[in-house]
Structure 1
Amino acid sequence: MPHLSRRHVLSLLPAAGLLAVIPPVRAAAGVDHGRLVANAVAIYAGTPEVNARPEVAGKLAAVLRTARQRLDALDGAGANELFAGVSLGGDDVNLRLSFQYLYEIALATRTPGGELDGDAAVQRRVIDGLQWLHERHFGDQAKGYYGNWHSWEIGIPTHVSRTLALLAERVRDERPDLTAAYVASMDAYLRNGKDGDVDLDSRFHTGANLADITGNRILQGALTGDDARVDKAISDQATVFATIDPYALQHGVADGYYADGSFIQHHSVAYTGSYGRALLTRVVQTLKTLDGATSTGPDLAGVVYRWVADGFAPLIFEGWMMEIVKGRAVSRTATGYTDVGVIVEAVADLADHVTGDQALALRKYAKFLPAADTAAFVSPVSIARYQAIRDSGVPAEDLNPARRSVAFNAMDRTVHRRPGYAFALARSSDRISKYEYMSGENLMPWFQGDGAYYLYLSGEDQREVFGVDYYTAVSPYRLAGVTAPVEERRTVPELYGRMWYENPGHPLNFTSSSESQNAYVYFPLAENAFSGGATLGEYGVAGMVQSDDAAYAAKQAGLLPDDFVAYQNARATKSWFLLDDEIVVLVADISGQSGRAATTTVDSRIAAPADTITLTGERRDGAAWQAGDTAPPRWIRYANGTRGTAIGYAFLTGQPVEAGVETVTRSRRVVRATNPDTRITKQVFTAAIHHPAAGDVPALAYALVPNATEAALRRYTDGPLSVLANDGRVQAIKHNRLGIVAANVFAAGRHHAERVQIDGPASVIVRSGERTVVAVSDPTMDRDHVTVVLRGASLRLDSADEGVTARRVPGGTEIRVNTHHAHGRTFTATLR
């Protein structure tokens, strides 16, 4: 279905709000509050019919086990505690946990079939706990709102609202004023809002955060019979369904889903795998909560389907969420499989809210993905629904075609998929952050947006190859694909003795949640404009000019305090050409800057200590290459014999490569301050090329060859690949067998790649055959037009995207593309 732009959505709305765009809504008086609360309770506690199913038994046992643990902690509480070991009075995390524990007890008392179901005495203990917390630690506004804003505006209200819904009847009978008291307090703590309500102009009330806040307020409105609250919350949440139009932002909000499937949170962080996942879960829960409680509106479930098909599916490889869209969450111990389990639950539920081909596609996809750990599902109903799909005769089928290349240019990410592997690339620009650090998470993130890439191989347990252990064992200066200066950096806690930079007296007002903290510490933008690429069917090209980040630029301009530390980056111009059997990487204009050397890491991979790792290769003189060899290799092959996987590296230029395997032991706390102090031991393979600080630094070209054999690597000596150009102005390759010429032109003016003349800056792919197909994009997102001239016989335009024209010119055919406000989108034309 077509994307619904935010501008289009808002143009259709009455002044009263967004009720017209979200199902299911009708006049305020028509909201069935009882049904709404019952739906919410069923989501969390299940129903008698569902809970009787054998596949739900594990979830029910976990609910009961957790509740009994919490009751034991309630019994053992000491002074200034509601639960043993959770002291209160100045720690927002402990206060949030206290509310969470009450919710977990309440849940067990409303779970049909559970041993505590309907236990009035236990329910009274929960209500007493709510009363106690409100009187001593929540109701007094002068004493509250310490720590993280999220606890007060989202975390605590989530647990409180759900607990009050679970125990609604008993609270009404025994503490009739308690719900109203909590709602009033939660309104008062909504300090990033406006008049105790959501403020769509607030930078805190966007994307997943907005969905969380409004989901809570829908439930609160139902509990208090407040139609206006329900309607306003539904109206506010509706805004997250609109596709972001970067050229007509509403309320200044850049957070949300884009037309190319990208998802952004914090205005500039690629975040599908964390906040995007949370938003998906929350809006699907809203659809379930409102089902039958209000009238039906437009098909927003269909909008969510597009999120799954175009936004999530490309980023999930054999059940693993790719690292490139997880922000600071890459440092957490939860795995990419766990991330996808949450998505599977949403997919199974969403299949009941869409129809026809979309519903069938979602059921096929839920069956295609590896079996999820349903113990982590939120809802017993979802477990039963998911198992019914797994047991059905629906065939398993990926939402991705087997061969797919996706340019998520709105968030500076690229994904390339083939049977047997997937390649994921993280870029950055003056639009998208280089990395995200926050709250002691992702302590060494400095180069994660500088062209870091991840090559996933089929059949691998990705926990053994990537995830938190990859960032723990691999040096942050040696992430695969990164060109880094030779230097040592210090983490934020090491620099400042706390988790952020503090200087409230400075004109930029550096506090833990200030905009300056975001801009210069937590997720700084890059300084380069060129970051993007084009796709032509299942093939792709991407490029980036590596730059400093915004913090270093601001420090040089004298805008930051003297004690603020900012690091200068290395420089490089990079291209990635995404083909069938290989990914070709070109690197030029390499400099460590300021008299420093630099290193480009071709690959870094980890393996278990007992895995059998073999390195083989061939030197350019034909002799065998081995680890430690200083002669330039023609190719190197890394093989994990234990896992039966291999990657080849075909070097198209003649630099020495430092390659070898070492055993590394580190604690996971080196990447996240609050991780358990778990020491992991890994074999770390690294292949890197050193660039000297002085003198000419030659350009670099190599190909990553997934699942390569030695015979396949030998064929690259006289193989189909040739490098047409590799400098700071143009990087281009030709693949004879595929009939592809692809180029990134970084400089303004006309430049050539064989018979293709390109008016740069631009990314271009030309495939010749019975017909000639051209794909063009503007990676700078600043140009109004891009022109490409195909030299040779005149060609006639057969078909083209809107905004593309063709005409004959002396010596060939000119294709002119209108890229104004295209936001990096690819335009294609077919000629004959």
Structure 2
Amino acid sequence: MPNPLSRRSALLGAAAVAGLALWERPAEAAGAAAFDAARERWVSLLAGGSYDAAYTDKTQAIEGSANAVLRKLKPTPDRPSLWPDLPLDDPRTGNFNRAYNRMRTLALGWATPGTAMHGDRQVAEIAVSALDFLYEHAYHEGLDQQGSNWYWWEIGVPRSLTDTCALLYDGLPQDRLERWLRPLSRWCPDPERRVTHPGVIETGANRAGKAMAVAMRGLLTHDARLIKRARNAVSDLLRTTSGPGDGFYRDGSFIQHGVYPYNGSYGVDYLESVAKLIAMLSGSPWEIPGIGNVYDIVDRSFVPFIFDGLMMDCVRGRQISVQGHRDYHSGQKAVEAILTLLEAAPERHARRWRPLVKGWLTRNQVTPFDTLAPLASIARAKALLEDPSVPVGPRTTGTYVFADMDRIVHRRPTWAYAIAMSSERIGAAEAMNQENLRGWYTGDGMTYLYTGDLTHWNDELWPTIDPYRLPGTTVDTRGRADLAHGAPHLPRTPWAGGVALDGEYGVAAMKLIADGSSLRAKKAWFLLDDAVIALGTGIQASDGRRIETIVENRNTHETHPPLTRGDGWLHLSGVAGYALLDGVEAKVIREQRTGRWRDIDKGATTGGDETPVTRHYTTILLDHGVDPRKARYAYAVLPDASIAQTAAYGRRIKILANSGTAQVIARDNLLAAVFWRAGTVETGHGPLTADGPCTLLVRRDHKRVRLAVSDPSRTADEVKITLPWPVKSVKERDRGVRRTKSAVKVDVGGSRGHARTAVVRV
């Protein structure tokens, strides 16, 4: 097929002759070269810069997808439709958004070096006719939304359309380009404002997505004002917020839609857009100021949630129900963004990130990066993997408390454990656009265990797991209707949060107030170096139904692995041991479960298919009976433990209290406590007292004691902690920590649940 010298090639040659001098002039003086060079940089991020035989498989996959779009293209003006399965007469179906996505796929095949259709004039002419058709019948400035999703009009189509025009630029008539982009002046004129809801100021991923579309329109039409508008909108996003509401918080939390943790979905979309904008405008007259903040955001808000290239589901919100967006898709997008940022990252970040990303790519052989990412990112990943100077970094370890979104992540060298809570500040589960229809309990203390089995969470889990029995939760066994699109469920309690110490230990606690039920419970988790201890107390209900606590519900794929039971313990081969610490017998259910993605997502553009899928599950639960009164539980989860270690574990841990006043454990030189209200607990070394609500970690090393305190209830101004040993002095301390007689006082008012730490001499 013909492949004439393109405007892109000529431009890049001219830019090489001119050198960097063209960037030293302001936009107005630089002229067309500045716009076109930035656009070409964007195209290289999407389609790769030149053909490389090493990526033949990827090139063939891109070509195959583009050819499928081309082969099925059958314009029908009377209906109207470009493809028979996407009629365009009703925008509420979202078909017009899908149609522009297909055009982007076709354009990517045309622009990717090495494909048979690369630069083909006939394919470009077909694309021009198709874009004319879509302008006439699906998306122009005079249309009405007819109640369809605002997102398609203001972000979805603008992003696909501007990408398509950039990719096809060398084969497009200029007058047509301006015509197709004209609707964006109505539907996406300003990254900061929502056209269809004028009172809404865009935040987070939505603003970043709009900024991409506005910037690209500016580059395509040589309008510097649009690029500046996009740049300024993104600059605002790089600042952290103290809330409430959307944005990045200093502790790494990311909130979207007002009350939902979304680092792994909307947050990733934000990071991807910003990283590409930074790369696209780098060195241009429109460089984004203040980009140093984005590097810190990566460390705080994304690295703790990436496990061997997978994004933890506890921060993916309703996207867990979307068949085409699994944890490895979100993880790949985050890795891709970090690889893009690495091109210009300060050395102090790049020095950490290179081994980190190399470790993710090396360990995740289940979902290879080169099957998901664009060519440019694959090339960067390949270069990193082949660089002998960069070691394969180990897994991230540490304990991370995200007080501003009720999430805690505990990471050890071979496993990780995340806890998703909710409160009057953070919604329990989001259902929107008929997505996440059965996510009732995903924010009610659900626990997420990550091990060497990288397929557990992404192997058809969400349509097949029993949604009434999610691990970590205490639930009323009532039947429930699908979650409705509407107001969030915010439990009527401030109690959710925790504290960490030395990056090795943590405490989490939440007061459960069940939705639509009289069920109440106080739940705590103690995160140790080799185990997670879960305590529950005050479990009560009065609706005449059975109450259960789910210790585990494990997807074991195509078989039931060996399960060993002993006196007060169970061991699931390849997963973990489970020690029952209060003598209560556990019930085990081993079953095959069948479901369909369509059961949990009926969204217009995301809805899952009707194909039944089946997986094996081992469920371990504690039955509290019907209408329990002050029931309790105590168990330990021992990831990667052997049978012998599991059988012996009960002797290693001491439960000092499990009451409505306090839940406290001791092991070796560590005390970990939740004080729901003022109280005292005997430790064997002396009493441990708190005069108000708090979570507390105390670690003694001879005469030095390290302690960390927080108030997840956010109701106290200060908390006085009396340790089992008289305090002689405070050696190191955060602001607001002081000695009072032989105790320690901690100012927690206004801390928003964040920790205060100190080192004291006893």
For 1:288 and 1:329, how far apart are their aligned partners in 2?
Answer: 27
**Match for 1:535: what amino acid?**
A
Query: Considering only aligned residues, what root-mean-square deviation do their CA atoms show, in Å?
Result: 2.6
For 1:606 and 1:385, how far apart are their aligned partners in 2?
Answer: 34
Alignment of 1:313-328 (within 5 A): 313-328=303-318
Residues 226, 198 of structure 1: alpha-carbon distance in 2 compared, 3 angstrom cutoff: farther
Give 2:577's match in structure 1, choosing from 641, 648, 656: 648
CA contact (8 A) 1:445 1:476 kept: yes
Instruction: State yes or no: 1:767 paired with 2:699.
Output: yes
For 1:144 and 1:530, how far apart are their aligned partners in 2?
Answer: 42
Alignment of 1:45-56 (within 5 A): 45-48=47-50, 51=51, 53-56=52-55
Give a deviation string over 1:303-354, Cα, whole Å, max 9, x none.
Answer: 2222332222221223322221111111233432232122221222111111
Instruction: State yes or no: 1:284 paired with 2:275.
Output: yes
Secondary structure in 2 aligned to 1:692?
strand
Q: 1:309: which partner in 2?
A: 299
User: Which sections of structure 1, spanning at least 5 residues, go unmatched?
Assistant: 1-23, 493-498, 501-516, 550-566, 619-633, 640-644
The CA deviation at 1:610 is 3.2
Instruction: State yes or no: 1:139 paired with 2:140.
Output: yes
Give a deviation string over 1:546-579, Cα, whole Å, max 9, x none.
Answer: 0144xxxxxxxxxxxxxxxxx2262110110001
More moved, 221-230 vs 422-431: 221-230
Give a deviation string over 1:610-646, Cα, whole Å, max 9, x none.
Answer: 343323221xxxxxxxxxxxxxxx222222xxxxx14
Give a deviation string over 1:152-193, Cα, whole Å, max 9, x none.
Answer: 01111111112222334554xx351x3443443223224998
Secondary structure in 2 aligned to 1:476?
coil
Instruction: State yes or no: 1:218 paired with 2:215.
Output: yes
**Match for 1:485: what amino acid?**
D
Q: Percent identity?
A: 29
The CA deviation at 1:27 is 6.1
Residues 272, 196 of structure 1: alpha-carbon distance in 2 compared, 3 angstrom cutoff: closer
Give 1:601's match in structure 2, choosing from 540, 544, 550: 550
**Match for 1:720: what amino acid?**
R
Secondary structure in 1 aligned to 2:328?
helix
TM-score, scaled to structure 1: 0.82
Give 2:470's match in structure 1, choosing from 461, 469, 479: 479
Secondary structure in 1 aligned to 2:216?
helix
Residues 232, 740 of structure 1: alpha-carbon distance in 2 compared, 3 angstrom cutoff: same
**Match for 1:663: what amino acid?**
Q
For 1:697 and 1:195, how far apart are their aligned partners in 2?
Answer: 51
More moved, 55-64 vs 408-417: 55-64
The CA deviation at 1:828 is 0.8
For 2:166 and 2:714, how far apart are their aligned partners in 1?
Answer: 48
Give 1:788's match in structure 2, choosing from 677, 696, 721: 721
CA contact (8 A) 1:207 1:279 kept: yes
**Match for 1:675: what amino acid?**
G
Q: 2:86: which partner in 1?
A: 86
Residues 638, 375 of structure 1: alpha-carbon distance in 2 compared, 3 angstrom cutoff: closer
Q: 1:70: which partner in 2?
A: 69
Alignment of 1:27-46 (within 5 A): 29=28, 32-46=34-48
Secondary structure in 1 aligned to 2:157?
helix
The CA deviation at 1:449 is 0.9
Alignment of 1:672-751 (within 5 A): 672-673=601-602, 674-694=607-627, 696-717=629-650, 719-735=651-667, 737=668, 739-747=669-677, 749-751=678-680
Residues 429, 194 of structure 1: alpha-carbon distance in 2 compared, 3 angstrom cutoff: closer
The CA deviation at 1:791 is 4.2
The CA deviation at 1:44 is 1.6
Q: 2:122: which partner in 1?
A: 121
Q: 2:501: which partner in 1?
A: 536
Give a deviation string over 1:343-384, Cα, whole Å, max 9, x none.
Answer: 221222111111323112222122111356344555422221
Instruction: State yes or no: 1:590 paired with 2:592.
Output: no
Secondary structure in 1 aligned to 2:701?
coil
Alignment of 1:406-417 (within 5 A): 406-417=400-411
For 1:602 and 1:261, how far apart are their aligned partners in 2?
Answer: 28
For 2:259 and 2:578, how far apart are their aligned partners in 1?
Answer: 33
CA contact (8 A) 2:48 2:113 kept: yes
Instruction: State yes or no: 1:366 paired with 2:357.
Output: yes
Q: 1:344: which partner in 2?
A: 335
Instruction: State yes or no: 1:636 paired with 2:633.
Output: no
CA contact (8 A) 1:99 1:160 kept: yes
The CA deviation at 1:540 is 0.3
CA contact (8 A) 2:190 2:210 kept: no
Provide the aligned length of Structure 1 versus Structure 2: 720
For 1:319 and 1:142, how far apart are their aligned partners in 2?
Answer: 42
CA contact (8 A) 2:560 2:590 kept: no
The CA deviation at 1:199 is 9.4
CA contact (8 A) 2:497 2:508 kept: yes
Residues 655, 152 of structure 1: alpha-carbon distance in 2 compared, 3 angstrom cutoff: same
Instruction: State yes or no: 1:202 paired with 2:232.
Output: no
For 1:389 and 1:185, how far apart are their aligned partners in 2?
Answer: 41
For 2:350 and 2:191, how far apart are their aligned partners in 1?
Answer: 37
The CA deviation at 1:536 is 0.5
For 2:285 and 2:198, how far apart are their aligned partners in 1?
Answer: 23
CA contact (8 A) 1:364 1:398 kept: yes
CA contact (8 A) 2:589 2:618 kept: yes
For 2:242 and 2:464, how far apart are their aligned partners in 1?
Answer: 40
Secondary structure in 2 aligned to 1:542?
strand
Give 1:444's match in structure 2, choosing from 438, 442, 464: 438
CA contact (8 A) 2:444 2:473 kept: yes
For 2:25 and 2:699, how far apart are their aligned partners in 1?
Answer: 53
Give a deviation string over 1:728-751, Cα, whole Å, max 9, x none.
Answer: 22111111x2x111111122x454
Give a deviation string over 1:109-132, Cα, whole Å, max 9, x none.
Answer: 333333222222221221222222
For 1:200 and 1:800, how far apart are their aligned partners in 2?
Answer: 48
Q: 1:612: which partner in 2?
A: 561
Secondary structure in 2 aligned to 1:684?
strand
Residues 201, 136 of structure 1: alpha-carbon distance in 2 compared, 3 angstrom cutoff: closer
Secondary structure in 2 aligned to 1:267?
coil
Residues 213, 485 of structure 1: alpha-carbon distance in 2 compared, 3 angstrom cutoff: same
CA contact (8 A) 2:141 2:182 kept: no
CA contact (8 A) 1:351 1:360 kept: no
Give 1:233's match in structure 2, choosing from 230, 239, 242: 230
**Match for 1:590: what amino acid?**
I
For 2:394 and 2:150, how far apart are their aligned partners in 1?
Answer: 38
Q: 1:163: which partner in 2?
A: 164
Secondary structure in 2 aligned to 1:541?
strand
For 1:528 and 1:338, how far apart are their aligned partners in 2?
Answer: 34
Secondary structure in 2 aligned to 1:273?
coil
More moved, 206-215 vs 100-109: 100-109
Secondary structure in 2 aligned to 1:122?
helix
Q: 1:110: which partner in 2?
A: 111
More moved, 350-359 vs 327-336: 327-336
For 1:683 and 1:535, how far apart are their aligned partners in 2?
Answer: 35
CA contact (8 A) 2:697 2:708 kept: yes
The CA deviation at 1:104 is 2.3
Residues 782, 185 of structure 1: alpha-carbon distance in 2 compared, 3 angstrom cutoff: farther
CA contact (8 A) 1:137 1:144 kept: no
For 1:663 and 1:100, how far apart are their aligned partners in 2?
Answer: 37
CA contact (8 A) 1:600 1:688 kept: yes
Secondary structure in 2 aligned to 1:439?
coil
For 1:26 and 1:830, how far apart are their aligned partners in 2?
Answer: 55
Q: 1:756: which partner in 2?
A: 688
For 1:524 and 1:229, how far apart are their aligned partners in 2?
Answer: 39
